[in-house]
Amino acid sequence: MRIDIITVVPELLKSPFEHSIIKRAQEKDLVEIHTHNLRDYTNNTYKQVDDYQFGGGAGMVLMIEPIDQCISKLQSERKYDEIIYVTPDAPLLTQKTANNLSLKENIIILTGHYKGVDQRVRDLYITKEISIGDYVLSGGELAAAVICDSIIRLIPGVLGDETSALTDSFQDDLLAPPVYTRPSEYKNLKVPEILLSGNFPKIEEWRQEKAIERTNKIRPDLMK
């Protein structure tokens, strides 16, 4: 998989992709991540990529021209399965979305900034819009990193145990059950006996019951 991220602040994306699972995925050549500084695609002498809103109002807007030039250049080099715009006024990222995107080959992620992008960018180029929550960040870079992480960890070979991702929360529309490790007792708190029994059918039954119990308590909306 190849992911190209268009951003005004590429420095914000450096650290998330240089550590842990995403770093190892790149070292294994399972994914390529490329960041593109939008200021490199403007004809403005001062590298300006934003301007005032037509009709007035507070906040600047990313201009269409540099975005158009960047996307057009990338599209001239390869075919993209999705061009994603990260913005709070979009459908929320879900595990289903991450699952679907993990099957793609080439993706562009456009990160918003300031008041967002000229609407014509969304009309002309964007095939999918994603929000990571009902709140506003200073820019879309951190949200793009979250989206990348949610996708990349699902690519076969990225995780040490490929079945791990299949038992994550939301994979079956339930929250994950409680998990425990050694020691079996700590400060008078004991691991449930069933988990130490070696009876794996019963253990799976217990996990399913606890998953349903937790989901009902924390996210009852998922049970619908």
What is the predicted pLDDT for the residue at 168? 65
pLDDT per position as a tens digit, 201-220:
999 999 999 999 999 999 99
pLDDT score of 172 = 76
Contacting residues for 52 by C-beta, under 8 A, at least 6 apart = 60, 61
Contacts of 214 (CB under 8 A, 6+ apart): 174, 175, 176, 177, 178
The pLDDT of residue 55 is above 90: yes
Give strand ranges (E) for the chain.
Answer: 2-7, 32-37, 50-52, 60-62, 82-86, 106-111, 128-130, 185-186, 189-190
* For residues 81-107, average pLDDT: 97
Find all residues with CB under 8 Å of 97, minimum gap 6, and list them.
Answer: 91, 130
| Closest to 86 in 3D by CA, of 41, 132, 134, 45 | 132
- Separation in Å, CA 189 to CA 51, 104, 180, 182: 59, 45, 11, 12
Rounded (to 5) percent helix, strand, coil in the chain: 40, 20, 40
144 class by beta-carbon count within 10 Å (0-12 exposed, 13-18 middle, 19+ buried): buried
Mean pLDDT of the chain: 94
Give residue-wise pLDDT tens across range 134-184. Answer: 999 999 999 999 999 999 999 999 997 655 666 666 677 899 899 999 999
Tell me the domain boundaries of the chain.
Answer: 2-152, 169-223
Q: Which pLDDT belongs to residue 163?
A: 55
pLDDT given for residue 166 in this prediction: 61
Q: Measure the CA angle with vertex 148, ends 49 and 168; round to 5°.
A: 150
Q: What is the pTM of this model?
A: 0.89
Q: How far apart are CA 41 and CA 71, in angstroms?
A: 10
Tell the CATH superfamily of the 169-223 domain. Answer: tRNA(m1g37)methyltransferase, domain 2 (1.10.1270.20)
Report the greatest alpha carbon distance in the chain.
70
In the DSSP assignment, the letter for residue 113 is B
What's residue 195's pLDDT?
Answer: 97
CATH of domain 2-152: 3.40.1280.10
Condensed to tens digits (0 to 9), the pLDDT of residues 23-46 reads 999 999 999 999 999 999 999 889
Q: How confident is the model at residue 80 (pLDDT cuts 50, 70, 90)?
A: very high
Work out the average pLDDT over 115-130: 97
